[in-house]
Chain A
Amino acid sequence: MSTRLSQGGRLIDRSAQQGFSFNGKRLKGYAGDTLASALLANDQMLMGRSFKYHRPRGVIASGAEEPNALMNLGAEGKFEPNARATTTPLFDGLEAASQNHFPSLEFDVGALNTHLSRFLPAGFYYKMFIHPRPFWKHIYEPFIRQSAGLGKAPKARDVDTYEHFYAFCDVLIIGGGIAGLQAAKVAADAGLEVMLVEQDPHWGGRAPVDGTGIDGKPAQDWIDTTVAALGDMPNVTLRARCMGAGVYDHGYVLCYERLTDHAPKAAGPRHRLWRVRAKQVVTATGAIERPLSFAGNDIPGVMLAGAVRDYVVNYGVSIGDRTVVVTNNDDAYRTAIALKEAGLEVPAIIDARTGGAGALGDQAKALGIRVETGKAIAKVKGGKRVTGVGICAQAGEGSILEEIACDCVTMSGGWSPVVHLWSHCGGKLIWDDALAMFRPDGDRAPTSHDGNPFVITAGAANGALSDVLADATAQAAEVVSRCGGKTDAAAPTEANTAENAIEPIWLMPQGAAHKLRSKSWLDFQNDVKVSDVQLAAQEGFESVEHAKRYTTLGMATDQGKTSNINGLAILSKELGVDIPQVGTTTFRPPYTPISMGAIAGEARHEIFQPLRKTPMHDWHDANGAHWEPVGHWRRPYCFLRGDETPEKAVHREVLNTREKLGLLDASTLGKIIVKGPDAGKFLDMMYTNMMSNLKPGRCRYGLMCSENGFLSDDGVVARISDDTWLCHTTSGGADRIHAHMEEWLQTEWWDWKVYTANVTEQYAQVAVVGPNARKVLEKLGGMDVSADALSFMGWADGTIGGFDVRVYRISFSGELSYEIAVPANQGRAFWDALLEAGEEFGVMPYGTEALHIMRAEKGFIMIGDETDGTVIPQDLNLHWAISKKKDDFLGKRAQMRSHMADPNRWKLVGLETTDGSVLPDGAYAVGEGTNANGQRNMIGRVTSTYHSPTLGKGIAMGLVHHGPDRMGEVLDFPRVDGTVVKAKIVDPVFYDKEGAKQNV
Chain B
Amino acid sequence: MLILTCPNCGETKDESELHAHGEAHITRAGPEATDEEMETYLFERVNPKGVHFERWHCSYGCGKWFHAARCTNTLEVFGTYSAQTTEPPKEIIDILDKKRPGWSWRKFGGTAQ
Q: Interface of A with B (CB < 8 Å)? A: 248-250, 252, 277, 425-426, 447-451, 707-708, 739, 742-743, 746-748, 750, 887-888, 892-894, 897-898
Contact = CB atoms under 8 A, between A and B. Distances in A.
Nearest to B73: A426
A892 B31 contact: yes
B2 interface: yes
13 contacts: A249-B15, A252-B1, A425-B75, A426-B75, A449-B2, A449-B75, A449-B76, A707-B42, A747-B55, A893-B30, A894-B42, A897-B35, A897-B38
Contacts of A894: 38, 42
Nearest to B75: A249
A750 B64 CA distance: 12
Interface string B14-44: 1100000100000011110101001001100
**Max count, chain B CB within 10 A of own CB: residue among A250, A277, A743, A893:** A893
B65 A743 contact: yes
Given A249-B75, A894-B38, A742 B84 contact: no
A772 to B, nearest CB: 44
A859 B15 CA distance: 44
B6 interface: no
A248 B76 contact: no
Given A746-B83, A748-B28, A451 B35 contact: no
Interface residues of B, number: 29
A917 B77 CA distance: 61
Interface of B: 1-3, 14-15, 21, 28-31, 33, 35, 38, 41-42, 55, 57, 59, 63-65, 71, 74-77, 83-84, 99
A743 B24 CA distance: 13
B75 A250 contact: yes
A887 B3 contact: no
A893 B29 contact: yes
Nearest to B27: A748
B18 to A, nearest CB: 13
A899 to B, nearest CB: 11
Nearest to B82: A750
A469 to B, nearest CB: 32
Given A893-B30, A893-B31, A449 B38 contact: no
Contact of B31 (A250, A252, A742, A888): A888
A250 B2 contact: yes
Would you list the 8 A-B pairs with minimal beta carbon distance, nearest first?
Answer: A451-B76, A252-B1, A750-B84, A447-B74, A449-B77, A746-B65, A250-B3, A747-B83
Given A747-B83, A748-B28, A708 B42 contact: yes
Contacts of A743: 21, 57, 65
B30 A747 contact: no
Contacts of A750: 83-84
A894 B84 CA distance: 25
Contacts of B83: 746-747, 750
A427 to B, nearest CB: 12
Contacts of B35: 897-898
Given A277-B14, A742-B63, 18 more contacts: A249-B1, A249-B15, A250-B1, A250-B2, A250-B3, A277-B3, A426-B75, A447-B75, A447-B76, A448-B76, A449-B76, A450-B77, A451-B99, A746-B64, A746-B65, A750-B84, A893-B33, A893-B38
Nearest to B67: A747
Contacts of A450: 76-77
Nearest to B19: A739
Contacts of B74: 426, 447, 451
B41 to A, nearest CB: 8
Contacts of B64: 746
Contacts of A739: 57, 59
Contacts of B33: 893
Contacts of B1: 248-250, 252
A734 to B, nearest CB: 15
A887 B31 CA distance: 7
Contacts of B15: 249
Nearest to B39: A897
A250 B15 CA distance: 10
B74 to A, nearest CB: 5
A707 B59 CA distance: 21
A746 B41 CA distance: 19
Contacts of A250: 1-3, 75
Nearest to B100: A451
Nearest to B33: A893
Contacts of A249: 1-2, 15, 75
B7 to A, nearest CB: 12
Contacts of B99: 451
A252 to B, nearest CB: 4
Contacts of B28: 707, 748
B75 A448 contact: yes
A449 B3 CA distance: 7
B38 A747 contact: no
Contacts of A746: 64-65, 83-84
Nearest to A886: B31
